Structure 1
């Protein structure tokens, strides 16, 4: 049985999905999200903007 992911924001949801797919990969399945690859960097406009705001 799978447990639902609960998140209060899109950023938190993306992080939860990334962590779940890193530590509990679906064997012999094509990943359903863009966060499945451990080596892929998250470069969406939303995260880039948040990073730039945090730096300045």
Structure 2
């Protein structure tokens, strides 16, 4: 599934089409990933939103 997501993203760029996910959804996913990484590194609970 990751490869199909990457292919879709590349196709959107090359064909000048909008991506299925919005910028806000991308930001939210990144914030969750960053919080998980920080929590794993520190062993502490991380509150979302971080920003």
Fold shared by both chains (TM-score > 0.5): no
Give TM-score scaled by structure 1 length. 0.35
> Rg larger in 1 or in 2?
2
- Greater helix proportion: 2
Q: Which has the higher contact order (CA 8 A, sep 6+)?
A: 1
